[in-house]
C-alpha cells in the first residue's frame, strides 16, 4: 500500500500528542522493522535521514528528531512530553513511504513546518522516532534510537 502525503488532522494530533506515549508499545506487525542508516544530515532549514524499513501495512508515517541543549544523550528526551525539554524538535508526517511487506530504503525529510516543531538541529545526538500507524490507534512500526547529527 502506498503511503499518503496528506494525513488527516486526527493522525497529526495523534503523532504530536500520543505517539511519544504509544512509541513504547509493541509493533502490531511482528515483522515490521526499521534501521537508521548513517547520520541526520542538516542542510539549511531541513534535514534528511536514510532508513531501511519493512512493514506490511500502514497509512501514516511520522519521523521526529529531538535534541536537548547539550546535544548529547539525555534520558528525559525519551519520556512522554519530552518536547518541553527539547531545544530542537524537527518532524514530518509528509514523507512518502511504502508498506508492502518487503524492505525499502528511503530518505526522509524532517523540518520545522509542522506545529510544535522548534529550534535548530546541531552536531551531536538526536532522539529519533520512526513510526508507521494504521488508522488512529494501531502502531504498525515503531523505532526509536539516538542518531548522530552531522
Residue 19 has pLDDT above 50, yes or no: no
Quote the mean pLDDT of the chain: 87
Is residue 2 domain-resident?
no
Is residue 140 domain-resident?
yes
61-71 pLDDT tens trace: 999 999 999 99
75-100 pLDDT tens trace: 999 999 999 999 999 999 999 999 99
What confidence category does residue 23 fall into, taking pLDDT thresholds of 50, 70 and 90?
very low
State the CATH number of the domain containing residue 129.
Answer: 2.60.40.10
Is residue 31 domain-resident?
yes
pTM for the model: 0.83
* Residue 37: CB atoms within 10 Å: 13
Q: Which domain holds residue 55?
A: 9-149
Q: How far apart are CA 136 and CA 17, in angstroms?
A: 12
Amino acid at each position: 500500500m502506498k503511503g499518503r502525503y496528506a494525513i488527516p488532522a486526527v493522525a497529526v494530533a495523534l503523532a504530536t500528542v500520543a505517539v511519544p506515549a504509544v512509541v513504547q508499545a509493541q509493533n502490531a506487525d511482528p515483522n515490521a522493522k526499521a534501521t537508521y542508516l548513517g547520520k541526520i544530515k542538516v542542510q539549511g532549514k531541513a534535514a534528511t535521514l536514510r532508513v531501511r524499513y519493512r512493514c506490511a501495512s500502514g497509512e501514516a508515517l511520522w519521523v521526529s528528531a529531538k535534541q536537548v541543549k547539550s546535544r548529547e544523550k539525555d534520558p528525559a528526551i525519551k519520556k512522554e512530553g519530552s518536547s518541553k525539554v527539547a531545544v530542537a524538535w524537527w518532524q514530518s508526517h509528509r514523507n512518502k513511504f511504502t508498506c508492502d511487506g518487503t524492505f525499502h530504503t528511503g530518505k526522509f525529510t524532517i523540518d520545522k513546518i509542522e506545529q510544535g516543531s522548534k529550534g535548530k538541529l546541531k552536531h551531536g545526538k538526536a532522539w529519533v522516532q520512526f513510526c508507521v500507524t494504521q488508522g488512529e490507534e494501531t502502531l504498525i512500526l515503531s523505532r526509536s534510537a539516538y542518531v548522530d547529527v552531522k
